[in-house]
Chains A and B, each alone.
Chain A
């Protein structure tokens, strides 16, 4: 069964600190992996997308890594800001059809 798991479920950090969010998946055959940021009550916005051959992708203070062998990905946020408070969703796509598998998300709270 295609599944995406994320950890931790929620995280609280102080402004200026770094953090790392984890994503494990069992989606096969693998096509790509995306990280989305979803502000409360809003739609998700794409941060990064990685294919099988890519093991790291950056977008400003966000850096995603992918280990296709262990089927794990991480999202590292550097020098966190209050505006980083949101849910971060890992989405893994299979190489057929409309098969996007969404993780449950990690709720990040950045405190002043």
Chain B
């Protein structure tokens, strides 16, 4: 069976510090991978998605970047965090591209920028 991992589970970082969140998927190959941010009282916002190693698409301009160094690894980064980067970050995977494919979410990372 497939599982998706995210770490760390929680993170408190000062403004201006770097960020690295990691997501890995087990039990499947060549998944589509996604990074979402969930702000309090608002719907999930798609930040990045990837259909293969080294292939990253950005949905919104922002202070963050993503990389996919391996087939089942997806990393979310920032060189200098802003207060507005605080939120709940979710990684997800799907078997294919498009709305007909189910997305499976990881447990999330709670990021607080102070």
Interface residues of A (CB under 8 A from B): 4, 9, 31-32, 41-46, 49, 89, 93-95, 97-105
Could you say which residues of chain B place their CB within 8 Å of the CB of A4? 43
Which of B14-22, B66-74, B75-83, B102-110 forms contacts with chain A?
Answer: B102-110
Contact A32/B99 with A102-B43, A104-B42 known, Cβ cut-off 8 Å:
yes
Chain B 79-111 near chain A by CB (<8 Å), digits 1 or 0: 000000000101010000111101111111010
Q: B32 CB to closest chain A CB, in angstroms?
A: 8
The reply to whether B44 and A98 form a contact with Cβ atoms under 8 Å apart is no
The closest CB in chain A to the CB of B4 belongs to: A43
Does any Cβ of A come within 8 Å of B113's Cβ?
A: no
- The answer, among A43, A93, A99, A101, for a CB contact under 8 Å with B90, is A43
Q: Once bound together, how far apart are the Cα atoms of A31 and B101, in whole Å?
A: 11
The reply to whether A89 and B100 form a contact with Cβ atoms under 8 Å apart is no
Q: B99 CB to closest chain A CB, in angstroms?
A: 3
The closest CB in chain A to the CB of B108 belongs to: A43
Between-chain CB contacts (< 8 Å), 11 pairs: A31-B99, A41-B110, A43-B107, A44-B44, A46-B103, A93-B99, A94-B99, A98-B97, A100-B46, A102-B45, A105-B43
Interface residues of B (CB under 8 A from A): 34, 41-46, 49, 57, 59, 88, 90, 92, 97-100, 102-108, 110
Given A42-B107, A43-B105, A98-B97, 16 new contacts (CB under 8 A)? A31-B99, A41-B108, A43-B106, A44-B44, A49-B102, A89-B43, A94-B99, A95-B99, A97-B98, A98-B34, A98-B46, A98-B98, A99-B99, A100-B99, A100-B103, A103-B43
Q: A59 CB to closest chain B CB, in angstroms?
A: 13
Could you say which residues of chain A place their CB within 8 Å of the CB of B98? 97-98
Could you say which residues of chain A place their CB within 8 Å of the CB of B34? 98
Contact A98/B59 with A31-B99, A104-B41, A104-B42 known, Cβ cut-off 8 Å:
yes
